[in-house]
Amino acid sequence: METVRESGHALVVGAGIGGLAAALALGRTGWRVTVLEQAAAIGEIGAGIQLSPNGVRVLSALGVLDGLLPTAFHPEAVEMRLGRSGRHVFRIELAETAVRRWGAPYLHVHRADLLDALLTGTAGSGLDITVRTGSTVRSYEQTPEGVTVSLDSGRRVSGSLLVGADGIHSVIRGQMLGADEPRFTGHVAWRVTVPVERLGRAVPPPTACLWVGDGRHAITYRLRGGALVNLVAVVERDEWRGESWTERGTRQEALADFEGWHPTVTTTLREADTHYRWALFDREPLENWADGRVALLGDACHPMLPYLAQGATMAIEDARVLAHRLQHTDDVPRALRSYAAARRPRTARVQAGARRNGQRFHQGDDFAYLPLWLLGKLAPRLYHRRLDWLYGYRAP
């Protein structure tokens, strides 16, 4: 338990991964926290996420890792295969290396399991954290002494600081900085989960496996101790309207996008019950995340493409740094400015890296992946070394 003093009352808008991690981090340093979530119940559409060691260490410090591990999957390696033939481009050991080199495991988890672990953590002994569902925040106002949010119910809630962890369509960011102009990347992702028992010989390998090809790619990995397969399959499109995680497509549409691909990819798409498609939009890094006693966190301030698998982990890191900056000061605005200044360069670098990977994955010509094949064969340690800045980061 890290409680050091009574710091005041923190309001957190959004009970997603970033918002609940922020509530826990603040609660463990003495803050009374109220989380305001617009949904009637906290839940997540079935999907997986990859948690790299930099995020896993924070979850351990927040006291939720032990509750998450029983449902997590430990991938043996990271690998790249050609999307149609399945031939290896490279395979690089990950399981033991992650713990030895970066001090924590690399995990695959179901989003719902991570949310459950975080939510359970907010009820921990000695923590003063309240999660209020059905609470849609419309706006905020602040004075030098505090900040107040207005809910669509007409109710007003006041605190010492406000954390906007309300996602890509953040109301808090909108008021702070005005409307943003996301750019459609030309990529649309299919998301499905399928029980392993349905896939027979087409079951994906027990790795973080990237399948690459001309104008499209796919990622397969396992969840819930290996019992469930998660597939994200990305295809290029000329235009798209709307930015949603929950839009549904059809099995036929998904299979048409990956016609002729390896049976592991096509069988997984065919056996899925529900096919969600997600248009990928990109944004430039924000110059400012803080406004007096109000700060942004996670997707509200640095939404990123999924091609480095760092979206959730960056939000978890944000939470730890935010609480640390607030821990030993009564000057909330100054602490929030310090938090934003500390996080902006790192998250901007991750955003840029994810953008570059999205271009690399769609090179098409098999010979274009020859340098990566050589890297895997001749210098696998170089692959690990190139990730030290990312996975080796230790949030305070």
Q: How far apart are CA 55 and CA 244, in angstroms?
A: 25
The catalytically annotated residue of 106, 140, 221, 339 is 221
Q: Is 221 an active-site residue?
A: yes
Site of tokens 């005005």 = 178
Q: How far apart are CA 142 and CA 294, in angstroms?
A: 8
Determine contact, residues 269/190, Cβ cutoff 8 Å. Answer: yes
The three-state DSSP-derived secondary structure of the chain is CCCCCCCCEEEEECCCHHHHHHHHHHHCCCCEEEEECCCCCCCCCCCEEEECHHHHHHHHHCCCHHHHHHHCECCCEEEEEECCCCCEEEEEECHHHHHHHHCCCCEEEEHHHHHHHHHHHHCCCCCCEEEECCCCEEEEEECCCCEEEEECCCCEEEECEEEECCCCCCHHHHHHHCCCCCEEEEEEEEEEEEEHHHCHHHCCCCCEEEEEEECEEEEEEEEHHHCEEEEEEEEECCCCCCCCCCCECCHHHHHHHCCCCCHHHHHHHHHCCCCEEEEEEECCCCCCCEECCEEECHHHCCCCCHHHCCHHHHHHHHHHHHHHHHCCCCCHHHHHHHHHHHHHHHHHHHHHHHHHHHHHCCECCHHHHHHHHHHHHHCHHHHHHHCHHHHCCCCC
Determine contact, residues 33/161, Cβ cutoff 8 Å. Answer: no
Name the residues annotated as catalytic. Answer: 221
